[in-house]
Chain A
């Protein structure tokens, strides 16, 4: 069964500090009033323009395997090779904040308002990430409500293009999930449109399966390092 969700933009909008941090602004940094105001304006614009939608579908391990293998281009080994055998439940998911925000970002840059353009871009990226976290929570809530997983278990979203899962598997993910119903399309380069969107697998299981050493060959080239923050959060909870 597929869930199609319409999310309130206000529930996804990042706080001003996160928007500033995305542009390298350190906490406590001495900022001009115009910059601080820009972050607030970006938040308001995001709430006004974003049209967030999401889709989620629980899948069997067998169905997921065909999505995960893609065209056989994953790194050997990839992170999910170690996680999947110990996962208890799997779902495919995608979310978008819509195309209007991206169009406004372009307009702001073209009109010379670079600061607000960059802030809105950061707000939209943060909003898409937050949508991914909401899907994790939704899947977790559903599984715990039906007592299918232990309260100590965790659900995390992993996406093609990261952690050795080749981005070309987006094709199989799209074929299986059909996120076109929420307005998402896939280009030949496996880029999603609208641009500020996420897709991936929601993987449920004991918290320990999501803990790993970042010593895979692909870790050296990873610039996001979001796995470390995620593991930190999990450790605190447990």
Chain B
């Protein structure tokens, strides 16, 4: 097995120590950071995402692989900065104002980072303006909102309204998710998509950013 295939397999096995060691080895062998990211780390996480979707593996398996992904990413990050290599795209995520539930948002954040995106995680209890202001200031193409309460869902429509008011609808895509949220609700408030789970959220972000 060549080095990158071995690295990809180690990521799929959730072996963070091996991923770190093989990433160092690949860099020492003269491979570029982008080559390692695209052909080992992201490709490994894509396999994991597909296996999760096919119900072959479970959420904890995905989280172990995500941790391994980060072990490699941490070594590559300084090189991206040095070589001025842009990320795959920026996504602002957070749990909406009034809501403190963040497990779902954390999973989305972990999976997006694992897919190579730059994630600006605003945490929980985030007011609508902060989502939009941050996305504009950071040049993010996507805002991802999470809510677990029916009482906090309306904050999602406030974010959609704010994007519209500032003429940003369509330019900044809005993805929503969380237990009480649905496809129909996304359409009702003018959001661009509804992500049922973290893997679906990554698929949607992939789709939106590939179109740009």
A: residues with CB less than 8 A from B are: 20, 23-26, 29, 31-32, 34-35, 38, 105-106, 109, 112-115, 117-119, 121, 161, 167-168, 187-191, 193, 195, 221, 223
Evaluate whether A32 and B106 lie within 8 angstroms (CB atoms) in the complex, with A118-B60, A193-B100 already known.
no
Q: What are the interface flags for B149-185 relative to A under an 8 Å C-beta threshold, 1 for contact and 0 otherwise?
A: 1111000000000000000000000000001101000
Are the C-beta atoms of A118 and B99 separated by less than 8 Å?
Answer: no
Are the C-beta atoms of B59 and A34 separated by less than 8 Å?
Answer: no
Are the C-beta atoms of A23 and B149 separated by less than 8 Å?
Answer: no
User: How far apart sit A117 and B14, CA to CA, in the bound complex (Å)?
Assistant: 16
Are the C-beta atoms of A35 and B101 separated by less than 8 Å?
Answer: no
Q: Is the interface of B mostly helix, strand, loop or mixed?
A: loop
User: How far apart sit A14 and B58, CA to CA, in the bound complex (Å)?
Assistant: 19
Are the C-beta atoms of B61 and A167 separated by less than 8 Å?
Answer: no
User: How far apart sit A117 and B103, CA to CA, in the bound complex (Å)?
Assistant: 9
User: How far apart sit A121 and B102, CA to CA, in the bound complex (Å)?
Assistant: 10
B145 interface residue (CB < 8 Å to A)? no
* Contact among B59, B100, B110, B182 with A195 in the assembled complex (CB-CB below 8 Å): B100
Q: What are the interface flags for B46-75 relative to A under an 8 Å C-beta threshold, 1 for contact and 0 otherwise?
A: 000000000000111101101100100000
Are the C-beta atoms of B180 and A221 separated by less than 8 Å?
Answer: yes
User: How far apart sit A167 and B100, CA to CA, in the bound complex (Å)?
Assistant: 16
B98 interface residue (CB < 8 Å to A)? yes
Q: Which residues of the other chain, A, contact B149 by a CB distance below 8 angstroms?
A: 161, 167, 189-191
| Listed A/B pairs (13) with beta-carbon separation below 8 Å | A25-B58, A32-B64, A35-B60, A38-B60, A112-B70, A114-B63, A114-B110, A115-B60, A115-B63, A161-B149, A167-B151, A191-B149, A221-B182
Q: Which residues of the other chain, B, contact A38 by a CB distance below 8 angstroms?
A: 60
Are the C-beta atoms of B64 and A34 separated by less than 8 Å?
Answer: yes
Q: Which residues of the other chain, A, contact B99 by a CB distance below 8 angstroms?
A: 189, 191
User: How far apart sit A174 and B60, CA to CA, in the bound complex (Å)?
Assistant: 37
Are the C-beta atoms of A24 and B58 separated by less than 8 Å?
Answer: yes
Are the C-beta atoms of B100 and A118 separated by less than 8 Å?
Answer: no
User: How far apart sit A189 and B124, CA to CA, in the bound complex (Å)?
Assistant: 13
User: How far apart sit A118 and B108, CA to CA, in the bound complex (Å)?
Assistant: 13
Are the C-beta atoms of A161 and B150 separated by less than 8 Å?
Answer: yes
Are the C-beta atoms of A189 and B61 separated by less than 8 Å?
Answer: no
* Contact among A32, A118, A161 with B59 in the assembled complex (CB-CB below 8 Å): A118
User: How far apart sit A112 and B180, CA to CA, in the bound complex (Å)?
Assistant: 28
Are the C-beta atoms of B152 and A223 separated by less than 8 Å?
Answer: no
Beyond A117-B106, A168-B151, 19 additional contacts (C-beta under 8 Å) are A20-B58, A20-B60, A26-B58, A29-B58, A32-B61, A32-B64, A35-B58, A106-B102, A109-B106, A114-B64, A114-B67, A115-B64, A161-B149, A167-B151, A188-B98, A189-B151, A191-B149, A191-B152, A221-B182
